[in-house]
Amino acid sequence: MAKDINQADREVVISIRGLRNQFGTQVVHDNLDLDIYRGEIVGIVGGSGTGKSVLLRTIAGLNRPAAGSVDVLGIDVLSADQDDMVDAGANWGVMFQDGALFSSLTVRENVEVPMRTVDGLDPKIRRALADLKISMVGLPYFAGDKFPSELSGGMRKRAGLARALALDPQIVFLDEPTAGLDPIGAADFDQLILGLSRSLGLTVFLVTHDLDTLHAICDRIAVLAEKRVLVTGTMQEMLKVDHPWVHDYFHGVRARAALDTKTAADVATKD
């Protein structure tokens, strides 16, 4: 899956420099640097509580860091005022760890919410487009009329993705999209993200613990440890890193199983 494009001449869409995040005395990030290029799927991994969700929220402008700069699509997220952020919000979509759908709106209305910011969009068209997004993320038509509480966990995740994609953003942030899905559902979801990313030219910032996802769709992996991005690189490069945590992560029992599946799948497609 690794693309052999020289990173030097690729457009940087997210650039983070010297980021520091702190809650009281607990320092979550310190001097964190990260670049993300247009069109790639980046998997962010790290132990529980290493601040993956916090990093995501910071880039999306939902959390104010103590220091550092965050530049998304040429906008300095930290100095942008409220109006700038609202408008720029059309350029990225966020799917939260627990869905965060509006509980008093149906799924269709949830997907329509971001579209309401577009002036002069005919409500009938808006509705039809919401139905399309719902169907694109693999939900049946009737799901549109349901409330989030009436959906299963996996369906809620898909609905969250549909809402994140409502405005055809250039970047989507996904927080553990496949957590809590059955293996088939998770594989479907991986393919869905990959397909959407390729056909819409999406840049995907993906927080995940799912090794299969990392193998299957991530162009690049960034490891969050020791309060910063420890290494970034392709899966092959990760396997060679000899930092103890990284080594354990990518060489553990589960990692090897995922690798075997992946190799088997590759062999199967080559035949």
Partner 1 sequence: MKRGTVTRKSSQDNNHPPFDCRFSRPYELHIVPLMTETVPSDIEITSTDAAVTMTLRGAMTLPYVTQIVAEFDTLPMDRTVRADLSGVTRFDTSAAWAIASLRTRLETAGQHLEIQGAGIGPESLLKSVTDAMPVITPAPVVAGGLIEWVAAIGSSMVDAVTFVLELIGYFGLFLSRLVRAIRHPKEFRLTALVHHCQEVGFKAVPIVALMAFLIGVVLAFQGSTQLKQFGAEVFVVDLIAVSILRELGILLTSIIVAGRTASAFTAAIGSMKMREEIDAMRSLGLDPAATLFVPRILALVLMLPILGLIANVMGLFGGALMAWIDLGISPAMFMTRLVNGTDVSHLAAGMIKAPVFALIIGVVGCHAGMQVQSNAESLGRMTSSSVVVAIFAVIMADAVFSIFFAQIGF
Ligand X SMILES: Nc1ncnc2c1ncn2[C@@H]1O[C@H](COP(=O)(O)OP(=O)(O)OP(=O)(O)O)[C@@H](O)[C@H]1O
Residues in CB range of 259: below 8 A, 6 or more apart: 211, 215
Examine residue 82 and tell whether it contacts ligand X (CB under 6 A).
no
Can you give the binding site for partner 1, defined by CB under 8 A? 73-75, 83-84, 86-88, 90-91, 102-104, 115, 117-122, 125, 128-129, 131-136, 141-142, 145, 147-149, 165, 167-168, 195-196, 198-201
Residues in CB range of 177: below 8 A, 6 or more apart: 95, 157, 161, 189, 193, 206, 208, 213
Examine residue 130 and tell whether it contacts ligand X (CB under 6 A).
no
Examine residue 238 and tell whether it contacts ligand X (CB under 6 A).
no
Burial 205-232 (b: 16+ CB within 10 A, else e): bbbbbbbbbbbbbbbbbbbbbebbbbeb
| Bridge-based pairing state of the strands 41-45 and 26-37 | unpaired
Among 46-54, 84-92, 115-123, 193-201, the segment contacting Mg ion (CB under 5 A): 46-54
Give whichever of 68 and 148 is closer to partner 1, judged by the CB atom.
148
Q: Which of 13, 14, 45, 53 binds ligand X (CB under 6 A)?
A: 53
Q: What is the contact mask toward ligand X in residues 31 to 50, using x (rule: CB under 6 A)?
A: ---------------x-xxx
Examine residue 252 and tell whether it contacts ligand X (CB under 6 A).
no
Q: How far is it, in rounded angstroms, from Cα 57 to Cα 3? A: 27
Encoded amino acid at 230, one letter: L
Q: Which of 15, 32, 34, 51 binds ligand X (CB under 6 A)?
A: 51
Residues binding ligand X (CB under 6 A): 23, 28, 46, 48-54
